[in-house]
A and B are shown apart, each in its own frame.
Chain A
């Protein structure tokens, strides 16, 4: 019954590695997002897709590449991981734009050593 699910919940890896986080929503929403929450709990938008089309791409290093195979899925691939990438990454979805409430996944805690 999970509305927005993301995997894995925890990800520990070394600098220089490549990793992916997967997200799926079963709410029938058209728009999906990736947010990054840093160690001070600040939430910052990274990307947004509407019906598989990239509509928001904030100032994020090119090492981060989102992919949306269909409107129910949004994955995040990160190349050449750096220490500063350590954070909690949240997937979210909504009906359309930011006038609609976001539904969040439980987050993926990424630790880069």
Chain B
């Protein structure tokens, strides 16, 4: 069965500083990895996804993530954070298998200080 760990519950970053949110997954086969963002009172929006190929994937809003199979990680990065990036970020793992659902990590709350 798949599982996801986001080690950081809450991170505060200064506006303009770089950001890295950590995600570790556990899955025996090829994982399908996703990052979602949730703004207060909103649903979840897909930032980016990794299926195969290039291990560095680009997403919306200037985010990118790098898949490292040897470390079972899929960390999310952004070179320069904006105040509007303050939100809840979720890493999720899926499988190319009928009858499965995305499994989410517990999320990381990002605060941005001015």
B99 partner residues in chain A, CB cutoff 8 A: 48, 55-56, 97
A102 at the interface (CB under 8 A from B): yes
Q: Please count how many residues in chain A sit with their CB below 8 Å of the partner chain's CB atoms.
A: 26
| Chain A proximity mask over B79-110: 1 for CB below 8 Å, otherwise 0 | 00000000010101011111111111011010
Looking at the complex, which one of B51, B90, B104 makes contact with A99 (CB distance below 8 Å)? Answer: B51
B14 to A: closest C-beta gap in Å: 24
Q: Is the CB of B43 within 8 A of A104?
A: yes
Question: Whose C-beta in chain B lies nearest to the C-beta of A9?
Answer: B41
Looking at A48, A92, A99, A105, the one whose CB has the most chain B CB atoms below 10 A away is A99
Check A66 for interface membership: any CB of B closer than 8 A: no
Knowing A104-B44, A106-B42, the reply to whether A98 touches B97 (Cβ < 8 A) is: yes
Asked if residues A106 and B43 are in contact (CB atoms below 8 Å), the reply is yes
A68 contacts the other chain (Cβ, under 8 Å)?
Answer: no
Cα distance A102–B34 in the bound complex, in angstroms:
9
- On whether A98 and B32 interact (CB within 8 A), knowing A104-B43, A104-B44, the answer reads yes
